[in-house]
């Protein structure tokens, strides 16, 4: 707990048995009140490893996709009274050692969402990010910054922290169950006028790290372009998109508080 706020780490897991123990071991448990793992019908022994570590685990009997997994993560964390929720991949691609810094920024009220950015500094390529992913990351980020009128170093990191207020303000049920879920969430946060912070994050691309293949990367990239255009057209009043129509604006949340 930090500043009297309950901190929950959620881990969307799929075939993470080889890295889960190390990831869990580096979580700063002195400030984290609870860890929740959602297993998306893994084909390995992820659930057994989680049980041995005494991690609260929810198992999807059928694979629901990366976005569907996160929906369960956040729904459960909010039900458990989480006020600061950190999403950490159990594949050890992102270091858990940054959780303390991310939580601090959220607990102090400086930001509503904090991202661990692989692009700030030299984390991405040094950590082994494939060059084609780095180039597409740079292109898609530049496109979104232009279309959305915002400025982030990257929109595609899987290391994120949220306040309870921002998660409750978003219509997550309307988001995709696939990889584009993350990008839709950030787009909704920007649309609602919430503050996003970034910190430099070293990353690790190894054989045991999860990563989407070229085909799914292409589908993801097209989804990013579509989400960005929906954002702009909805803001201009030219269309009405369910992704943004029910986003609770920051100004209204603060007024209610």
Asked if residue 32 lies in contact with residue 98, where contact means CB atoms within 8 angstroms, the answer is no
Residue 2: inside a domain: no
**3-class DSSP string for 113-129:** EEEEECCCCCHHHHCCC
CATH of the domain at 15: 3.90.550.10
Average pLDDT, the chain: 91
Residue 138's CB: how many other CB atoms inside 10 A? Answer: 14
Residue ranges making up the domain that contains 199: 7-256
pLDDT per position as a tens digit, 138-170: 899 999 999 999 999 999 999 999 999 999 999
Distance CA 150, CA 191 (A): 10
Instruction: With a cut of 60, say whether residue 210 has pLDDT above it.
Output: no
Residue 1: inside a domain: no
Residue 71: inside a domain: yes
Q: Would you state the torsion angle of the CA atoms of residues 70, 75, 81, 87, taken in this order, to the nearest 10 degrees?
A: 10
Instruction: Return the residue matching tokens 């609770």.
Output: 248
pLDDT per position as a tens digit, 79-109: 999 999 999 999 998 999 999 999 999 999 9
Distance CA 112, CA 46 (A): 31
pLDDT per position as a tens digit, 40-55: 999 999 999 999 999 9
* CA dist list (Å): 117 to 47, 94, 102, 141, 197: 29, 10, 11, 12, 10
Residue 32: inside a domain: yes
Distance CA 96, CA 202 (A): 11
Residue 207: inside a domain: yes
Residue 193: inside a domain: yes
Residue 34: inside a domain: yes
pTM: 0.91
What total number of domains does the chain contain? 1
Residue 236: inside a domain: yes
């Amino acid at each position: 707990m930090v500043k009297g706020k309950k901190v929950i780490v959620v881990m969307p897991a799929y075939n993470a048995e080889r890295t889960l123990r190390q990831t869990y071991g580096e979580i700063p448990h002195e400030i984290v009140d609870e860890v929740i793992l959602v297993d998306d019908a893994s084909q390995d022994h992820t659930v057994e490893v989680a049980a041995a570590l005494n991690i609260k685990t929810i198992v999807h009997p059928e694979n629901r996709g990366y976005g569907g997994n996160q929906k369960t993560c956040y729904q459960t964390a909010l039900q458990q009274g989480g006020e600061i929720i950190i999403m950490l991949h159990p594949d050890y691609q992102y270091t858990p050692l940054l959780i303390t810094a991310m939580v601090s920024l959220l607990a102090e009220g400086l930001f509503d969402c904090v991202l661990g950015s692989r692009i700030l500094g030299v984390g991405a390529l040094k950590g082994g990010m494939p060059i084609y992913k780095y180039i597409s990351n740079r292109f898609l980020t530049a496109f979104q910054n232009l279309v959305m009128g915002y400025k982030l170093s990257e929109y595609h990191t899987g290391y994120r922290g949220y306040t309870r207020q921002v998660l409750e303000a978003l219509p997550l049920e309307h988001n995709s169950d696939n990889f584009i879920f993350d990008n839709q969430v950030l787009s909704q946060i920007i649309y609602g006028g919430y503050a996003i912070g970034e910190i430099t994050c070293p990353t690790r691309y190894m054989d045991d790290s999860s990563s989407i293949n070229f085909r799914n990367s292409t589908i993801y990239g097209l989804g990013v372009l579509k989400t960005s255009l929906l954002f702009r057209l909805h803001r201009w009043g030219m269309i009405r998109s369910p992704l943004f129509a029910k986003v609770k604006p920051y100004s209204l949340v603060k007024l209610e508080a």
